[in-house]
Structure 1
Amino acid sequence: MRRTFFILLTMVFVLSFFFLDPLKDAKKKQANKLYKVSAYKQKILKVSDIHNIYYELSGNPKGTAVIILQTDPGLPVPDILKKFFNPRKFKIVIFDQRGTGLSTPPGELAENTTSDIVSDLEKIRKHLGINKAVLFGGFWGSSIAMLYAEKYPENVSGLVLWSIFTGSENDINKIYAGPGEDFFPEEFSSIVDSFDNLHYKSISEFIFNKLVQKNFSVRDRYTAKWIDYWLKITGSDIDFNPLKNMGKADLYRFALLENYFFSNEVFLKDDQIVKNIDVLNNIPCAIINGRYNIIAPPAGAVQLHNKLKNSRLFIVDDSRHWPVTEAMKKAVSAGLEFVLSEAS
């Protein structure tokens, strides 16, 4: 009887180890952990006769370099993105693109193109003495990361890309019509209430024209309309709002720069990134996308994955644009782990 009891007790213990692992929740929390990160250096780098770029460093000065890129033209890197990286292991670099955030002159459009941003990224890398870096980019940042890696593959140890945007005409159209128009018709109708396709080649050009009017009431009105629409199409009104601490002037500059870039087809030839994508085949790349991201649908992530030999794809259910759900955090952590394990 005593022996039978001992055998049953042993079986319960073994089964509990496999099916009721007491460390399971702790391991899960560790995988999805967001770290406390604070900057140890904040500086300005002059990159042209006009522009001065703000950058900051966090984490371990001798750690693995990771450069976090803006998610949108005109929008500084949200603090939450730095928190994916263990400050004991990573040297974390962020910078405000031309005309954005603490970079000066604020809202400046001259000498402000996509190729200028890629050039600035290279200047920052050289200035900081970084040999190779992991590039972490979402949406617009995924475009900048791929463009930089296509031009300077020898300087990139890995790519962690989320909410994929390649800057194609099709991708841009998803922002201004298509799903945005279908899912949020009231907000869409508001920003195109007087759109005239005889005078403007695109909705983005129409909005940009309103934002450069001398009449400040017109500027303010269309800034508010654009912000309202943008919050809806990115799910920022539900999941995470990176604009909540931005003042009126910063919101205006965000709307201005966003529509300036998109009205100029982000200064790229159509499908430019995809046509040169073979250059990235030797760079490990994690591709992460929320299944219900209406402005960067998962089809784009799948297509990119199919073109890259050394990539791993994460399509995340019950998630939209921002990597803030537990499932998206887990995917980002897994993607980063994959890239680091494959990086040369």
Structure 2
Amino acid sequence: MTIVHRLPLSGGHVMHVEEHGNPRGLPALVLHGGPGSGSSPLLRSGFDPTRYRIICPDQRGAGRSTPTGSIAHNTLADLLDDLRRLRAHLHVDRWLVVGGSWGATLALLHALDQPSAIAGLLLRNVFLARTSDIHDFFAEAARHGGPEWRVLWNEARRRRCPVATVLADIFANGTWEAQRRATLYWFAWEQRLSGGTAAPPGDAVLQRLVPRYRVLSHYLHHGCWLRAPALLARCAALPAVPTLIVHGTRDAMCPPQGAQALARVLHGRAILQWAQGAGHDPTHPALAAAMKQALCNYANTQTFSANVP
């Protein structure tokens, strides 16, 4: 069954939330990536709907939350407040939190913000939002992503600011045509890094992608509000709950070294499981199988220990 909620938030935002599965099952909060991407059926594909109550919110400005693509009143602090409000609205005491990429980032931050709410953490291809992570993503694009990225890189050097700042300005203040062009080459670069083979998006898809990249550039411009203290430094205070990190060995968007760094900070309180040959694409067979097995193990035992080779 599916239940849809429209939850009013601060700053005029309204959160679109879908519940799937068994209303009496294990509560699982599923956090999408981006920021700005929105939830999708793909993110819940590994769940057994007879055993889980699957809660899928669209974050501010993303998916079917409104206003679409809005960066006003849209910060990390707002997202954390929204998750507190959502849990209270749904009367959930504790939930398993599942997230990939930026969704894993937000899962970690929610666990730090509301440790008593966390029954477990299942993190896929974790993004640490370090200054170096954001810089390296755009530096690689400038080297290998085509002439548009080199133009952006040179403009950032001229303005003495990060590339993310130039992009955030385009998506916040540029013409529709400028936002459309930036979306096309950003989407193409992400597809290349993730190993995807999607054709260039048509006008209908662009209408959805432009708001996504507006929110994403806004967060990257602000360092996802994680510059001081950095996320890794904060993670030492994570609650001692079952935690599994599943990471593709060939992830070019969120390099495996980040997952290793997080596992070291957690000092044995988390299991790090490699999805051999997988990149960032969650549909890769190794990643999909690892996530499905992890969810099965958790439903059986409320731990992930069965995933250790």
Same fold (TM over 0.5): yes
CA contact (8 A) 1:132 1:155 kept: yes
Distance 1:217 1:69, change over 3 A: same
CA displacement, residues 9-61 of structure 1 (integer Å, 9 cap, x when unaligned): xxxxxxxxxxxxxxxxxxxxxxxxxxxxxx51112100114111110100000
Distance 1:244 1:158 in 2: 40
Could you tell me which amino acid in structure 2 is paired with residue 64 of structure 1?
L
The count of residues paired between Structure 1 and Structure 2 equals: 301
Out of 38, 62, 70, the position equivalent to 1:108 is 70
1:107 alignment partner, SS class: coil
Larger mean CA deviation between 57-66 and 96-105 belongs to 96-105
CA contact (8 A) 2:38 2:58 kept: yes
Distance 1:197 1:245 in 2: 32
Aligned match of 1:230: 190
Aligned match of 1:321: 280
User: Does structure 1 residue 312 correspond to structure 2 residue 271?
Assistant: yes
Out of 145, 149, 171, the position equivalent to 2:133 is 171
Aligned match of 1:296: 254
Distance 1:84 1:313 in 2: 19
1:136 alignment partner, SS class: strand
User: Does structure 1 residue 207 correspond to structure 2 residue 167?
Assistant: yes
CA displacement, residues 233-275 of structure 1 (integer Å, 9 cap, x when unaligned): 233337xx9x899632211101111111101101222453211
Aligned match of 1:33: none
Distance 1:220 1:325, change over 3 A: closer
Larger mean CA deviation between 221-230 and 57-66 belongs to 221-230
Aligned match of 2:206: 248
Tell me the CA shift for residue 115 of structure 1: 1.4
1:101 alignment partner, SS class: coil
The residue correspondences of 1:1-344 to structure 2 (distance < 5 A) are 40-178=2-140, 180-181=141-142, 184-186=144-146, 189=149, 192=152, 195-237=155-197, 247-270=205-228, 272-308=230-266, 309-337=268-296, 339=298, 341-343=301-303
Distance 1:203 1:214, change over 3 A: closer
Tell me the CA shift for residue 325 of structure 1: 2.1
List, as ranges, runs of 4+ consecutive aligned residues in structure 1 with deviation greater than 4 Å.
243-246, 337-340
Distance 2:165 2:271 in 1: 36
2:157 alignment partner, SS class: coil
Aligned match of 1:5: none
Tell me the CA shift for residue 75 of structure 1: 0.6
Unaligned runs of 5+ in 1: 1-38
Aligned match of 1:35: none
Aligned match of 2:306: none
CA contact (8 A) 2:14 2:65 kept: yes
Tell me the CA shift for residue 132 of structure 1: 0.6
CA contact (8 A) 1:165 1:300 kept: yes
Distance 1:198 1:305, change over 3 A: same
Distance 2:274 2:203 in 1: 30
2:159 alignment partner, SS class: coil
1:222 alignment partner, SS class: helix
CA contact (8 A) 1:286 1:336 kept: no
Aligned match of 2:307: none
Bigger Rg, which one: 1
Distance 1:190 1:220, change over 3 A: farther
Distance 2:204 2:44 in 1: 18
Unaligned runs of 5+ in 2: 304-309
CA displacement, residues 207-226 of structure 1 (integer Å, 9 cap, x when unaligned): 12122335322222222222
Tell me the CA shift for residue 80 of structure 1: 0.9
Tell me the CA shift for residue 205 of structure 1: 0.8
